[in-house]
Each structure stands twice: as structure tokens, then as C-alpha cells.
Amino acid sequence: MRDLRKKILLESGKTVSRKARSRPDSLGASPAGSPAPSRGASRVNSRYASEEEDLTDSEYEDSLTNSVANSDDGDEPVPSWTDRLGDRVAELLDRKRSSAKGRETCLSAYTHIIRHHYAEEQLEPQLNELVPALLKSIRSGGNADETLSAVKALTMTILSTESENFYDHVYPSLKTLCQDSDEESLKVEAIEAMSIVTMCGGGSVTAAEELLDFLLEIVESDGHSIEAGDNGPVVSAALTAWGFVASNLDDLQGQSDQALEAFTEQLDSTDVDVQVGAGSNIALIFEAAREYEAETEEASNLQYDQHKLVQRMTALVRESSKSVSKKDRKHLHASFNSVLTSLEHGKGPGYSTARRMASNPHTGGTKTDFGEEYREYGYREKIRIHNISMVIDTWSLSARVEMLRSVLGAGLAIHYIGNPVVKELLSSAQVEFVSTPGKGGRGNDRLSPPRKSRGGKAGKGAGF
């Protein structure tokens, strides 16, 4: 339907309004020396995409349709996303007479396009030129906006291709940016990019373990190790990245004890996101220990008093601080309760032990006919992608989903369907078909069985 609508618009010769043309990824092919229209004030201090960037393909194309219908002054046919991408790549590769603001705008438009379209086929022929161009903006960007946009563009480029030659060329620059930048937002984005390039761009198991150590130093020092002392967003980003990288490794025995101590200390942080990230990583470590014992039939060497940890987290759940908003307090309590359930019952995130009748007597018969059989509600956290429902039933899967949501935003569905890199990261999930109302079909048909493997590309010993 989307392609049909595009075809109709193109063949009819209808045009796009100035408002639609001002969108980041629908800029006209302007000369490199004249910056394309800006999307407004750059959100340097945010690690997440703007609401405009998070529009889905259908929402964006609907906006184009509405713009065509309401336009009385347009003079350009609706370009395809591949044409828009080609124009943006050409601008990025031709830096002559370009300004920092123009490059920042172009980078934002480029990132938007490849976030909402799987573009490996279009990017692959120019990767050897494109990646160095992005690195140039990262190393010597004209301002923080350009550098930030370049890091986001690089992260999306890595996630959009299956090349395993990124790591050696990209990682050192990202680490230097993380350590030397004075901007909180740049440190946060660099941490995220480092985790993506290590796991999806050709990093080895050794590289992944070294990154875990680097991230743990940030957490242990409250950010002081990278000149971001007591910076909640930076420490939270390090926790999220640690969980993502750790979820792709088959063996966490060597990292577990020191990491548990650091994460436990962060449970007392004044930043809710730091507390939640620490709790999630604690649950992930104990989950890995359970899996190790189940697979090897050997006792894990995890030296930690789980009972004492449960007591501490229980006390934190009961605490109520006036300095924390009601929303944050609710989020913290829900997260900690999920971790406690995991530690006490050996379950994944979001598991509900509340019980209900196994059968519903209201659909026929009496309560006596069904006996007194009850069952727990079980896992409640799911992702819906078109007609597919994905159950988040492990902490390792939860860590990957959180990272992909941060990088892809509303483009997660598009990349899950078409991008093998994203598909592999989420391959451990149990997914089911869900019936679409009015279209018939049976719901809850198993699409693929759950897989136990924790290994991603680095976990498999991928080369460079």
C-alpha cells in the first residue's frame, strides 16, 4: 500500500508542500556549499531521536499525502527514499564549501532515512568512502551538533550493514571522543556507538571483554574515569551498554564478581535511571549464572550473597523519597520488583506470579467443572511488530531490545523485518503470529522456537 501510494503520487505529477520539504530526510538536492533547510534547534543534550525522527514510515508517507493534497505552491515531485539517500550521501562525501551547520543537517537527514529504511544495498558500494567521511566529522567537527549527528549516523550505518571491517577503524576515535569531550551528550552517544561497533562491526570476544572493563570503570568511578563525575546520564549509558555487550557473550564468569559489587553500590544512586540500569544488570548476571549451571551441570563461581541482595532491594522498593517524582518512583518500584521476582524465582523480566484460573468458567460450564486449577500470569512484557508478538522473557533479550530501541526508535520494526543484523540480535526471542482483527486467521501460532544461545557476533569470535 505504501509503494502504491508513492507510485500514484509520482505518476500524477503532484507535489510536496514547503512544510513537507523541510523534513530532515526530504531536503532538496542543494549544493554542498549552501546548507539545506535546518530541522530547527539541534537537541544536543538528548540521546534519543526527536518526535519528528521517530515517525514511522506510514506516518511519514501519510504526511506527504496530506501535504500534496494541501499544497498550492509545490514544484517538486515526491522523490523516492533511495533518491533522497543518494543525495545525502553525495553531500556527505563532498565537503568542499560545506558549513558545519549544513553538514549537521545533512547528517540528521541521512540518519533519519536509514533508520526508517533498511538500506544496506544502497550503502554498501560507498562504505569505504562514507565511513571515513563520518569519522572526519567526529574527529574534527565544526561544532558539537555536527559531531553528535555524525556519531548517530555512524551508529546507524554500522547497524544497517553486515560488514565486519568497522571495528579497527572506528573504535579508537569513539573511545577518544568519549574520554576527551566536554559534552555529556557526546559521551553518551559515543558509549552507545562503541557497544554497537564492538558487537556488530567486527569486534572479537577479547574486544568485547575490554569494553566491559572500560564501561565498568565508568560505573565504579561514577563517571570520573572519563571526566564526567557524578553524571547520571553518562553512568546510565555505561550500564545500558554493559548489559547489551554482556548479553552477547556466552561466559560472564570472569566479569561477574567485580561487576556485581559495582552495580550493587549504584542501587543507592540518586539517579533513577542509574538505579534501574544497575538492577537490570544484576538480574542479567544471575541469569547468566543459572544458564551456566544448567548447561555445564557445574556450580557457578559467583561469590555473592543473593539473600542479602534481595533484602537490600526489598528495602529500596519500600522506600519513598520526596525528591523523586511519582512517575520515577513508580518506574523504580516496578523495575526492582521485576528484579526481585527474577532473583527469588529464577525468572526473566516482567514476570507476574499473580495467579488466575487456568480456564474461564464464564465461557461455559461452572467453576466446579474446571476444578480449582490456577496458573500464574507469567511474562507480561512483549513487543508488537506488525502481526508478530515477541515475548521478552530473558534479561539478555531485554538488554538488546533496550539498546535497539535507543538506536532505532520507530525504525525497529522495519529493521527487524529486513535487517539480518537486528534479526540476529533478537533471534533468541520466542515470537508468535497475532491475528489481525477483521482479517481472519488464527492467533498465537508459533513462528519460531526460543533459542538458548546468548552469543552474538562477538560471542562467536567474529574477526575484523
The pair phi, psi for residue 383, each rounded to 5°, is: -120, 135
pTM of the model: 0.78
Residue 289, class by beta-carbon neighbours within 10 Å (0-12 exposed, 13-18 middle, 19+ buried)?
buried
In whole angstroms, give the CA distance from residue 240 to residue 223. 14
3-state SS, residue 417: helix
In whole angstroms, give the CA distance from residue 16 to residue 69. 9
Q: Which of 67, 70, 144 is nearest to 103 (CA)?
A: 144
Unique residue bearing C-alpha cell 544512586: 269
Q: For position 449, what pLDDT does the model report?
A: 37
Q: For position 304, what pLDDT does the model report?
A: 83
Count CB-CB contacts under 10 A for residue 207: 22
Give the chain's residues under pLDDT 50. 1-21, 28-72, 367-371, 439-453, 455-457, 459-464
Q: For position 60, what pLDDT does the model report?
A: 43
- Amino acid letter, 166: F
pLDDT (tens digit per residue) in 295-309: 988 888 888 888 889
Q: For position 154, what pLDDT does the model report?
A: 98
Q: For position 461, what pLDDT does the model report?
A: 38
In whole angstroms, give the CA distance from residue 44 to residue 228. 16
Q: How do the domains of the chain map onto residue ranges?
A: 1-161, 382-460
Q: For position 409, what pLDDT does the model report?
A: 94
Q: For position 10, what pLDDT does the model report?
A: 46
In whole angstroms, give the CA distance from residue 32 to residue 95. 7
3-state SS, residue 448: strand
Q: For position 349, what pLDDT does the model report?
A: 93
Residue 271 is given by DSSP the state -
Q: For position 162, what pLDDT does the model report?
A: 86
